[in-house]
Amino acid sequence: MKFTPVDVIARQKLGIRAGDMVKVFQKIQEKGKTRLQVFEGLVLAVKHGFEPGATFTVRRIASGVGVEKIFPLYSPMIEKIEITRRSKVRRAKLYHIREKAAKEIKRQMRNVQFVPASDEEEVAKPQESPEETPKVKEEEAV
Protein backbone atom coordinates (compact mmCIF):
# COMPACT_ATOMS: atom_id res chain seq x y z
CA MET A 1 0.00 0.00 0.00
CA LYS A 2 1.39 3.42 -1.02
CA PHE A 3 0.67 6.51 1.10
CA THR A 4 2.74 9.09 -0.77
CA PRO A 5 3.49 9.83 -4.45
CA VAL A 6 7.15 10.45 -3.53
CA ASP A 7 9.76 7.76 -4.21
CA VAL A 8 10.96 7.48 -0.62
CA ILE A 9 13.79 5.06 -1.36
CA ALA A 10 15.24 7.32 -4.07
CA ARG A 11 15.22 10.32 -1.70
CA GLN A 12 16.96 8.28 0.98
CA LYS A 13 19.65 7.15 -1.47
CA LEU A 14 20.47 10.80 -2.30
CA GLY A 15 22.19 11.02 1.07
CA ILE A 16 21.86 14.78 1.41
CA ARG A 17 24.19 16.17 4.07
CA ALA A 18 25.48 19.54 5.27
CA GLY A 19 27.92 21.16 2.85
CA ASP A 20 26.20 19.96 -0.33
CA MET A 21 25.21 22.39 -3.08
CA VAL A 22 21.75 21.31 -4.20
CA LYS A 23 19.08 22.29 -6.71
CA VAL A 24 15.58 21.79 -5.35
CA PHE A 25 12.89 21.73 -8.03
CA GLN A 26 9.77 22.91 -6.22
CA LYS A 27 6.22 22.82 -7.62
CA ILE A 28 4.54 26.24 -7.41
CA GLN A 29 0.80 26.63 -8.05
CA GLU A 30 -0.29 29.95 -9.55
CA LYS A 31 -3.78 30.63 -10.93
CA GLY A 32 -4.59 26.96 -11.32
CA LYS A 33 -1.36 26.17 -13.16
CA THR A 34 1.66 24.36 -11.76
CA ARG A 35 5.22 25.34 -12.63
CA LEU A 36 8.66 24.33 -11.39
CA GLN A 37 10.86 26.77 -9.51
CA VAL A 38 14.50 25.98 -8.81
CA PHE A 39 16.06 26.92 -5.48
CA GLU A 40 19.81 26.36 -5.61
CA GLY A 41 21.99 26.78 -2.56
CA LEU A 42 24.09 25.31 0.23
CA VAL A 43 22.63 22.75 2.63
CA LEU A 44 23.19 24.11 6.15
CA ALA A 45 21.51 21.33 8.10
CA VAL A 46 19.69 18.03 7.79
CA LYS A 47 17.37 17.28 10.68
CA HIS A 48 15.77 13.99 11.73
CA GLY A 49 17.91 11.90 9.39
CA PHE A 50 15.81 10.07 6.81
CA GLU A 51 12.70 9.36 8.89
CA PRO A 52 9.25 10.55 7.68
CA GLY A 53 9.56 14.02 9.30
CA ALA A 54 13.05 14.74 7.93
CA THR A 55 13.86 18.29 6.77
CA PHE A 56 16.85 20.05 5.26
CA THR A 57 17.74 23.74 5.26
CA VAL A 58 19.10 25.38 2.09
CA ARG A 59 20.69 28.86 1.99
CA ARG A 60 21.40 31.02 -1.03
CA ILE A 61 22.16 34.65 -1.76
CA ALA A 62 19.41 36.36 -3.77
CA SER A 63 19.93 40.02 -4.78
CA GLY A 64 22.58 40.44 -2.10
CA VAL A 65 20.32 39.09 0.66
CA GLY A 66 20.69 35.68 2.29
CA VAL A 67 17.56 33.53 1.88
CA GLU A 68 16.98 30.25 3.70
CA LYS A 69 14.27 27.70 3.06
CA ILE A 70 13.45 24.60 5.04
CA PHE A 71 12.22 21.76 2.85
CA PRO A 72 10.55 18.53 4.02
CA LEU A 73 12.59 15.71 2.50
CA TYR A 74 9.58 13.67 1.40
CA SER A 75 7.29 16.53 0.35
CA PRO A 76 5.21 15.81 -2.77
CA MET A 77 5.66 19.50 -3.69
CA ILE A 78 9.33 18.79 -4.43
CA GLU A 79 9.68 17.38 -7.95
CA LYS A 80 13.32 16.39 -7.62
CA ILE A 81 16.55 17.20 -5.77
CA GLU A 82 19.90 17.37 -7.56
CA ILE A 83 23.21 17.43 -5.72
CA THR A 84 25.52 19.63 -7.80
CA ARG A 85 28.57 19.67 -5.53
CA ARG A 86 29.72 17.83 -2.44
CA SER A 87 32.01 19.46 0.11
CA LYS A 88 33.82 17.85 3.00
CA VAL A 89 32.75 19.69 6.13
CA ARG A 90 33.64 19.08 9.73
CA ARG A 91 30.33 20.14 11.26
CA ALA A 92 26.87 18.58 11.21
CA LYS A 93 25.17 21.99 11.11
CA LEU A 94 26.69 24.92 9.21
CA TYR A 95 24.86 27.74 10.98
CA HIS A 96 28.15 29.63 11.36
CA ILE A 97 27.95 30.40 7.61
CA ARG A 98 25.31 33.05 8.43
CA GLU A 99 27.73 35.05 10.59
CA LYS A 100 30.57 34.45 8.15
CA ALA A 101 28.56 36.07 5.35
CA ALA A 102 27.61 39.00 7.57
CA LYS A 103 31.23 39.55 8.60
CA GLU A 104 32.34 39.56 4.98
CA ILE A 105 29.74 42.18 4.07
CA LYS A 106 30.81 44.35 7.02
CA ARG A 107 34.42 44.04 5.90
CA GLN A 108 33.51 45.15 2.39
CA MET A 109 31.50 48.08 3.76
CA ARG A 110 34.58 49.33 5.66
CA ASN A 111 36.39 49.79 2.35
CA VAL A 112 33.55 51.78 0.77
CA GLN A 113 33.84 55.55 1.04
CA PHE A 114 30.56 57.41 1.10
CA VAL A 115 30.29 60.62 -0.91
CA PRO A 116 27.70 63.24 0.10
CA ALA A 117 24.89 63.31 -2.46
CA SER A 118 24.08 67.06 -1.97
CA ASP A 119 27.30 68.25 -3.70
CA GLU A 120 26.53 66.77 -7.14
CA GLU A 121 28.92 69.11 -8.98
CA GLU A 122 31.86 68.07 -6.81
CA VAL A 123 30.97 64.39 -7.19
CA ALA A 124 30.90 64.68 -10.99
CA LYS A 125 34.42 66.17 -11.14
CA PRO A 126 37.26 63.72 -10.57
CA GLN A 127 39.68 64.73 -7.84
CA GLU A 128 42.98 66.05 -9.22
CA SER A 129 46.21 64.99 -7.62
CA PRO A 130 48.67 67.75 -6.57
CA GLU A 131 51.15 66.62 -9.24
CA GLU A 132 48.69 67.21 -12.11
CA THR A 133 47.53 70.66 -10.98
CA PRO A 134 50.65 72.69 -12.06
CA LYS A 135 50.71 71.07 -15.51
CA VAL A 136 47.14 72.14 -16.20
CA LYS A 137 47.89 75.72 -15.15
CA GLU A 138 50.95 75.85 -17.42
CA GLU A 139 48.88 74.68 -20.41
CA GLU A 140 46.26 77.37 -19.76
CA ALA A 141 48.92 80.06 -19.58
CA VAL A 142 50.38 79.20 -23.04
Over residues 8-63, the pLDDT tens digits come to: 888 888 888 888 889 999 999 988 899 999 999 989 999 998 888 899 999 998 88
Q: Are strands 21-30 and 78-85 parallel, antiparallel or unpaired?
A: antiparallel
- Count of structural domains, the chain: 1
**pLDDT average, residue stretch 65-76:** 90
Examine residue 120 and state whether it is found in any structural domain, yes or no: no
> Are 81 and 22 spatial neighbours (Cβ–Cβ below 8 Å)?
yes
CATH number at residue 46: 2.30.30.790
Amino acid at 27: K
Give the domain range for residue 58.
8-112
> Are 81 and 8 spatial neighbours (Cβ–Cβ below 8 Å)?
no
Q: What does the alpha-carbon distance between residue 59 and residue 40 come to, in Å, rounded to a whole number? A: 8
> Are 45 and 95 spatial neighbours (Cβ–Cβ below 8 Å)?
yes
pTM above 0.85, yes or no: no
Examine residue 78 and state whether it is found in any structural domain, yes or no: yes
